Structure formats: structure tokens, C-alpha cells
């Protein structure tokens, strides 16, 4: 296989998290006086937003928020404040279903979490990871988690903000795909010619016998071209396309963009390799001498008609084909 080209593409991968840029007076997104966290192993004893408990999908969460916002239920003022702090100017009215995604908080994570009565505390989530399923709502300037089991808001204290750059392995994979270009291959023209002839019973004794192996006659007449057709076929060309990374290790830094160069390899397969010459097929049919002469007269007559039409119209004609 022959490699045709090598294309360099930049893959933009965001690493780490981003800090909230919402209202600076909301202590829910601050950890200045956090102190020691209180460990939590089980959720659900003091729900902050009961109408968001035990949802199965992010779309159900979205529908519950929209429904309670329209009905002006208790708790929506508190939730709308959080939504506005993370970039939704009009709170739940600006929220879309695509802004909500399922996630799991890693056990051992510390952060601020709401509670019943819209109070807040600094907690450390400990225990089984299945206990800490959450719905992540992402806005233009930040994000907040809503714990699936209790509906409490949670914002983690991310230690990655103070983490130095690390070297990480690169494992870039892509499914091998094949593209076939049906109209870009080599064009093959096949010409089919049909001739008629008759066997000459009388010929000069010193005349050499026929050497044309396509005509199964020792002494044939001059062949008449009765029909000629051309068939053009395009041989398709197939290419394999794959993606690979030139580097096995890269430097990753929090709150920064990782520029990863990928090689896109396009290789022509050998399925249609080779030279396909044009072909010329000839077929000879024997007829009687009488029929041969009649065919010859008719062909000459049609040729005269074509020449006359061409002379009158200025366009080359092909009447009898």
C-alpha cells in the first residue's frame, strides 16, 4: 500500500476545571473559612430541593426544574440564585436540557453542600461512589452539582487549581474507515465491433491463406463493419483512513488547553491496483455472398445519406448505427 498524504490536525482538549465567575457575594462558591469538613456517608436525610430527588435522567431533572419554576414553588428562589451565579441571567428560564448531565462525585471530595432550610455546610463525601450520583448543571461562567439522592446543591473544592503540571500518556484511538471513490479511478474503454464476411470459393491458387485467427475461414472476403459500440467503465479506488498520535507522552496542566497533534493517514489500498488496458473485441459472422453484397449496398446507401445530411446541416450524422 502506498501512503498518499499525511495531515496534521489539532485536537483541543480542556483539562481540569474552571473557577466560578458569578456573584462574588455568594458564599456557596467560596472556601475562605471552610475549616475541617464534616464527613457524610449517606445522603437523603435533609433534602434541600425535594422536588429533584430520585430522578433517573437529566431530562427528568430539567422538566422538574421548569415545572416548579412555573408554579413558583418554595426553593426555586434559592435554586434560581445558584443558576444565575453560574451564568444563567434569568435563572431557570434560560436553562436548557443540554445544560444538565449525569455525573458521579468521587468519594473523598470536599465541598460546600446545601441542606434542609437552605443552609450550607462544608462536607467531605465518603463511602460508596454509587451514593454520590449527581446532576451537573453547567452555565456560561461556572457549574453546580445537584445530588441525585437528596436534591442538595454541591460545589466541590477542587485541589487541581494548585496542582503542578504532570506528564500523562497519550492513547489516541480511532476506528479504521475505508472510503471508495467510484468516479476517480482509471477509465476503461471496451470497443465491440461486429463484422460480416462470406467464404470465397474462387480465389487465386497462389493467394496466401487467411492469417487472421479471429476469422474462422481460410479464404474470407474483406470484412464489413456492421456495428461498433463503446463501453466506458471507471475502476473505483479505495482508501484506508486512520488516526494516530506522534507522541506517547504529553504535559498536562490544570485550567489550560492541551494541544495534541494527530496524524491522519490516508493509504490507497491494493484492491484496484494495476494497469487496466482498453480492450477491442471483434466478432466475425459468416453470411452468404448474396447477403453480403446486399448488406454492402445498404451500407453504401446509408453512408451516402449521412454525407448528404452532413453537407446540408453541417453536422456529422450517424443514421444507421
11-29 pLDDT tens trace: 333 333 444 544 456 888 8
CA distance 38 to 110: 9
Tell whether the model's pLDDT for residue 179 goes beyond 80: no
**Domain residue ranges of the chain, discontinuous segments joined by +:** 18-157, 290-321
Of the candidates 141, 38, 156, the residue with the CA atom closest to the CA atom of residue 104: 156
Indicate the burial class of 150 (C-beta count within 10 angstroms; 0-12, 13-18, 19 or more): buried
Please tell me the pTM assigned to this model.
Answer: 0.46
pLDDT recorded at residue 153: 95
> What number is the average pLDDT over the span 47-53?
92
254-313 pLDDT tens trace: 556 666 777 777 776 655 555 556 677 888 889 998 999 998 898 888 888 888 888 888
The maximal CA–CA distance of the chain, rounded, in angstroms, is 124
Least confident range of 27-41, 62-76, 116-130, 194-208: 194-208
How many CB atoms neighbour CB 236 within 10 A? 14
222 band by pLDDT with thresholds 50, 70 and 90: confident
More confident residue, 188 or 194: 194
Tell whether the model's pLDDT for residue 57 goes beyond 50: yes
Whole-number average pLDDT of the chain: 78
Residue 6's DSSP bridge partners are 265
DSSP 309: H
> What number is the average pLDDT over the span 76-82?
92
CA distance 226 to 303: 12
Amino acid at each position: 500500500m502506498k501512503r498518499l498524504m499525511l495531515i496534521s490536525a489539532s485536537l483541543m482538549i480542556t483539562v481540569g476545571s474552571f473557577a466560578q465567575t458569578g456573584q462574588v457575594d455568594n458564599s456557596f462558591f467560596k472556601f475562605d473559612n471552610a475549616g475541617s469538613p464534616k464527613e457524610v456517608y449517606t445522603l437523603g436525610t435533609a433534602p434541600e430541593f425535594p422536588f429533584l430527588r430520585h430522578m433517573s435522567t437529566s431530562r427528568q431533572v430539567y422538566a422538574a426544574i421548569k415545572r416548579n419554576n412555573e408554579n413558583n414553588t418554595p426553593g426555586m428562589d434559592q435554586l434560581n440564585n445558584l443558576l444565575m451565579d453560574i451564568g444563567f441571567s434569568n435563572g431557570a428560564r434560560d436553562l436548557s436540557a443540554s445544560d444538565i448531565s449525569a455525573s458521579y462525585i468521587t468519594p473523598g471530595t470536599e465541598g460546600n453542600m446545601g441542606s434542609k432550610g437552605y443552609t450550607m455546610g462544608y462536607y467531605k463525601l465518603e463511602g460508596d461512589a454509587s451514593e454520590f450520583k449527581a446532576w451537573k448543571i453547567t452555565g456560561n461562567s461556572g457549574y453546580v452539582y445537584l445530588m441525585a439522592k437528596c436534591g442538595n446543591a454541591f460545589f466541590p473544592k477542587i485541589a487541581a487549581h494548585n496542582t503542578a503540571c504532570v506528564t500523562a500518556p497519550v492513547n489516541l484511538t480511532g476506528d479504521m474507515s475505508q472510503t471508495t471513490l467510484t468516479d476517480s479511478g482509471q477509465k476503461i474503454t471496451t470497443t465491440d465491433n461486429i463484422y460480416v464476411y462470406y467464404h470465397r470459393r474462387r480465389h487465386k491458387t497462389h493467394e496466401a491463406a487467411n492469417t487472421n485467427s479471429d476469422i474462422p475461414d481460410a479464404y474470407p472476403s474483406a470484412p464489413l463493419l456492421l456495428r461498433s459500440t463503446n463501453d466506458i467503465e471507471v475502476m473505483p479506488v479505495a482508501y484506508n483512513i486512520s488516526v494516530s498520535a506522534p507522541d506517547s507522552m504529553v504535559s498536562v496542566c490544570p485550567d489550560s488547553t492541551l494541544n495534541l497533534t494527530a496524524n491522519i493517514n490516508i493509504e490507497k489500498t491494493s484492491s484496484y491496483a494495476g494497469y487496466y488496458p482498453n480492450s477491442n473485441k471483434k466478432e466475425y459472422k459468416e453470411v452468404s455472398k448474396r447477403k453480403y453484397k446486399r448488406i454492402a449496398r445498404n451500407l453504401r446507401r446509408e453512408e451516402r445519406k449521412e454525407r448528404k445530411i452532413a453537407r446540408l446541416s453541417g453536422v456529422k450524422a450517424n443514421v444507421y448505427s
